[in-house]
Amino acid sequence: MTKLTIIQIFKSINTRNLQKFFSLSVLILLILASALAFNTDPALAQESANLNSFNPQAILRDSLQWIDSLGALGAIAFIALYIIASVAFFPGSILTLGAGVIFGAVWGSLYVFIGATLGATAAFLVGRYLARGWVARKIADNKKFAAIDQAVGREGLKIVLLTRLSPIFPFNLLNYAFGITGVSLKDYFIGSVGMIPGTIMYVYIGSLAGNLAMIGTEAQPTNPTLQWAIRILGLIATVAVTVYVTRIARKALEEEL
- pLDDT at residue 48 above 60? no
Query: Residues near 173 by Cβ (< 8 Å), separated by ≥ 6?
Result: 43, 89, 138, 139
Average pLDDT over residues 72-100: 92
Domain count, the chain: 2
Question: Do 226 and 122 share a structural domain?
Answer: no
Average pLDDT, the chain: 75
How many distinct helices (H) and strands (E) make up the chain?
A: 14, 0
In a domain, 51, yes or no: no
Question: Do 18 and 97 share a structural domain?
Answer: yes
* C-alpha dihedral (185, 109, 91, 36), degrees to nearest 10: 50
What would the pLDDT profile of 211-253 be if each residue is shown by its tens digit? 765 555 555 555 666 666 777 777 787 777 777 777 777 777 6
- pLDDT in the model for residue 171: 81
In a domain, 184, yes or no: yes
Question: Do 130 and 18 share a structural domain?
Answer: yes
This prediction's pTM: 0.72
In a domain, 4, yes or no: no
CB-CB contact of 105 with 203 (8 Å): yes
Question: Do 149 and 71 share a structural domain?
Answer: yes
In a domain, 143, yes or no: yes
Q: Which domain holds residue 241?
A: 221-256
Question: Do 161 and 233 share a structural domain?
Answer: no
In a domain, 109, yes or no: yes
In a domain, 173, yes or no: yes
- pLDDT at residue 41 above 80? no
What would the pLDDT profile of 5-19 be if each residue is shown by its tens digit? 444 444 444 545 545
Average pLDDT over residues 18-40: 45
Question: Do 229 and 120 share a structural domain?
Answer: no
d(CA 113, CA 197): 10
Question: Do 86 and 66 share a structural domain?
Answer: yes
Question: Do 172 and 105 share a structural domain?
Answer: yes
Closest to 110 (Cα-Cα) out of 119, 101, 100, 120: 100
Closest to 117 (Cα-Cα) out of 204, 202, 190, 29: 190
Question: Do 178 and 239 share a structural domain?
Answer: no
- pLDDT in the model for residue 117: 95
Average pLDDT over residues 90-102: 90
What would the pLDDT profile of 107-161 be if each residue is shown by its tens digit? 999 999 999 999 999 999 998 898 888 888 877 777 777 777 777 777 788 888 8
- pLDDT in the model for residue 146: 76
In a domain, 19, yes or no: yes
- pLDDT in the model for residue 86: 92
d(CA 41, CA 134): 9
Element (H, E) at 17: helix 15-38
CA 26 to chain centre: 20
Question: Do 244 and 190 share a structural domain?
Answer: no
d(CA 113, CA 91): 15
What Rg do the C-alpha atoms of the chain give, in angstroms? Answer: 19
In a domain, 5, yes or no: no
- pLDDT in the model for residue 4: 46
